[in-house]
Amino acid sequence: MQKFTRVDGVAAPMPMINIDTDRIIPARFLKTIKRTGLGKNLFNDIRYTPDGREIADFVLNKGPYRKAEIIVAGRNFGCGSSREHAPWALLDFGIRCVIAEDFADIFYNNSFKNGILLIKLPAAVVAKLMDDAEKGSNARLTVDLEKQEITRPNGETVKFDIDPFRKHCLLNGLDDIGLTLQKDAKIKGYEATASSQTPWLVPPH
Amino acid sequence: MATAKTLYDKIWDSHVIDVQDDGTALIFIDRHIIHEITSAQAFDGLREAKRTVRHPELHILVPDHNVPTANRDKEIENEESRLQIDVLKQNAIAFKLPYIELNDVRQGIVHVIGPEQGFTLPGLTLVCGDSHTATHGALGALAFGIGTSEVEHVLATQTLIQRPSKNMRITVDGALPRGLTPKDLILAIIAKIGTAGGTGCVIEYAGKAIEDMSIEGRMTVCNMTIEAGARAGLVAPDQKTFDYIKGRPMAPKGALWEQAVAFWKTLPSDAGARYDKEVTLAVSAIEPQVSWGTSPQDVLPILANVPNPADIADEAQRRSVERALHYMGLKAGQRLTDIHVNKVFIGSCTNSRIEDMRAAAAVAKGRKVASSVYAMVVPGSGLVKHQAEAEGLDRIFKEAGFDWREPGCSMCIAMNGDMLQPGERSASTSNRNFEGRQGPGGRTHLVSPAMAAAAAIDGHLTDVRKFL
Ligand code: SF4
């Protein structure tokens, strides 16, 4: 997994609420057996016309936002399906951080596992950052995970909370499976107890 | 006395292997179902890291999302679909995992076949790379959707890293009125609590309406729990649950069965257990429900009118309603029963079990699909299809002009070629009406199987009660 320490980049404003995973990457693009290459279809149906031309109005089709690394979004971003293709598509496009009032559960988990930082902030703070994002290339945000701090274009800083374990994994690019396998003795202990107490569930390992 | 626990607490506590200081837990996963869309990258990950599958017997692989619903004897035309299904099979062989073939009678939608095979049992943890895994909670299992990284994690370790959820209880009092189905109930619940109403929670459904409900109906309710933002849905196991499971191929047998039932009886929430959130609903006032917009909370009784944005004070809300009406091609304030449909889809893990087939057939019987409508019925599994055919339901559908198809996800997610064309409108028994869900530019109205059949006959959204 890619590490996340600090991102200094253009933030794209997406004030819509309930941006679901079907909108982030429509289902017909899930026929891939790879993780990469989905960036060109990120937000496909609101980014292109049915015959494949760019929709000029859509934020990621506008000048500096083509290189956006951050999205500032409306409430409940990432609701809908559990597809990890949504964070893969964001990442493949170059998005490393999404800021919103809240996120859907599964999407939240999936994003961290792919090195994308999701930041939850109160509505009033998101509104300020949304205003910053509207300013395009004149308004870069700096997100510093170590310090848990966002620096606005006017120099003001905003603190954010993050679960210490997620922070640790993201800063070090740690793979969950490796971490879990260090607990093999505990897993074996669990399996032994479970296979005697609920033998219809867990066969002996 | 030990503190009173909820059903969720009991399942959670009995699966915790390790807890870190910050509350993050490592939990054991008893069952895992795998399909073709969210798994290839996970198996690649295993190969790259030279890892093996810890408990091959605790997984089932089955193709469903991308499978054609006709001409199963021929090779799959779409190259990408064929490749995904082939890769699934190759992975099953390479890692020696139980696999159900496309042409096996047991093939079907992941969330239909788990309970059907007795793979899903009360009190266990079950996951699948699909958000509607919540369905399995109808049997009292803690079941939730996961992403591909987590699929890989479960394969390699039979565990997941999770944080505990909050407890929420929705109590549904009273008996479902005539013409009302579990689908109407769950749509009404989502309309009431909203798509973020259950965020961070596991929702336990309780009350007379749930106790009276069949296991199939409970699956419909739990299935759409995810649409209310919750992690999982649960119903306490009872005698109906045990009767449903008994004798299924993968259910425990003999002495193990007795032992399992005794254990399952200890699972229901203790009296006095505490819930972080409680909602109570009186079911007697609910009417058949239909969605009008592009979020599953955009739901109204069939006899209502489409909302008028001018009546909405909150700006973000108003804009979101305006956008939904524009996408759906609807006029503010128009009557729902004036909305004409082009296609009708009866299927999906929400509503493709035998009871759903029966409910739709009861409406279709002796009637004809409107000439302006194409209507399809897609059973949830080969076994549901067989059962329906044994009961003669396929003939009822065909005589009425419905297309009777092979099992799979089909037009719920529109990956297999069954889809809406831009601007087309469906009455659909599936679970999501997001923009483009059933095809780019497609417009979806979520309804119950009986309401879908009624819409097919009238050619527009309609109140099924007149047909009953
Ligand atoms: S029927 Fe629809 S919701 Fe259910 S598993 Fe298939 S795609 Fe997902």
Which atom of ligand 1 is the closest one to the Cα of B35?
A: 5
Atom of ligand 1 nearest to the CA of B350: 4
Average pLDDT over residues A175-199: 93
The pLDDT of residue A204 is above 60:
no
Residues A36-92 pLDDT 10s: 899 999 999 999 998 999 999 999 999 999 999 999 999 999 998 878 999 999 999
pLDDT at B169: 98
ipTM over 0.90: yes
What's residue A80's pLDDT?
85
Q: What is the pLDDT of residues B61-83, one digit of tens each?
A: 999 999 999 999 888 988 889 99
Q: What is the mean pLDDT of chain A?
A: 93
A174 — contact with chain B (CB < 8 Å)?
A: no
Indicate if ligand 1 lies below 6 Å from the C-beta of B415.
Answer: no
Q: Do B17 and A26 touch (CB under 8 A)?
A: no
* Confidence (pLDDT) at A154: 93
Q: Report the pLDDT value the prediction gives residue A203, as an integer from 0 to 100.
A: 63
Round the average pLDDT of chain B to a whole number and report it. 96
Q: Identify the burial level of B211 via C-beta atoms within 10 angstroms of its C-beta, where 0-12 means exposed, 13-18 middle and 19 or more buried.
A: middle
pLDDT at A205 over 70: no
> Three-state secondary structure along chain B?
CCCCCCHHHHHHHHHEEEECCCCCEEEECCEEEECCCCCHHHHHHHHHCCCCCCCHHHEEECCCCCCCCCCCCCCCCCHHHHHHHHHHHHHHHHCCCCECCCCCCCCECHHHHHHHHCCCCCCCEEEECCHHHHHHHHHCCEEEECCHHHHHHHHHHCEEEECCCEEEEEEEECCCCCCCCHHHHHHHHHHHHCCCCCCCEEEEEECHHHHHCCHHHHHHHHHHHHHHCCCEEEECCCHHHHHHHCCCCCCCCHHHHHHHHHHHCCCCCCCCCCCCEEEEEEHHHCCCEEECCCCCCCEEECCCECCCHHHCCCHHHHHHHHHHHHHHCCCCCCEHHHCECCEEEECCCCCCCHHHHHHHHHHHCCCCCCCCCEEEECCCEHHHHHHHHHCCHHHHHHHHCCEECCCCCHHHCCCCCCCCCCCCEEEECCCCCCCCCCCCCCEEEECCHHHHHHHHHHCECCCHHHHC
The residue in chain A having the minimum alpha-carbon distance to the alpha carbon of residue B257 is A200
Q: Is the CB of B65 under 6 A from ligand 1?
A: yes
Atom of ligand 1 nearest to the CA of A81: 8
Question: Whole-model pTM above 0.95?
Answer: no
* Chain A, window 93-152: residues with a beta carbon less than 8 angstroms from a chain B beta carbon: 102, 104-106, 109-110, 113-114
User: Is A199 near chain B, with CB under 8 Å?
Assistant: yes
Give the nearest ligand 1 atom to B111 CA: 5
What distance in angstroms lies between residue B225's CA and the mean position of ligand 1's atoms?
14
Element at A119 (helix H, strand E):
strand A117-120
Q: Is the CB of B10 under 6 A from ligand 1?
A: no
CA B116 to chain A, closest CA, distance in angstroms equals: 17
Is B132 close to ligand 1, i.e. is its CB under 6 Å away? Answer: yes
On whether any CB of chain B is under 8 Å from the CB of A30, the answer is yes
How far away, in angstroms, is B409 Cα from ligand 1 center?
5
Q: For domain A6-197, is the CATH number 3.40.50.720? A: no
Blockwise average pLDDT, block size 10, chain B, 468 residues = 89 97 94 96 92 97 96 89 95 98 97 98 97 97 95 97 96 92 97 93 97 98 96 98 97 96 98 96 92 97 97 90 97 97 98 98 98 98 98 98 98 94 97 94 98 98 95
Q: Is the CB of B223 under 6 A from ligand 1?
A: no
Pocket of ligand 1 contains residue B411 by CB under 6 Å: no
Which residue of chain B is at minimal alpha-carbon distance from A87?
Answer: B147
- Which of B161, B298, B348, B446 has the most A C-beta neighbours within 10 Å, making it the best mutation to test the interface with A? B161
Residue nearest ligand 1's atom 6 by CA: B409
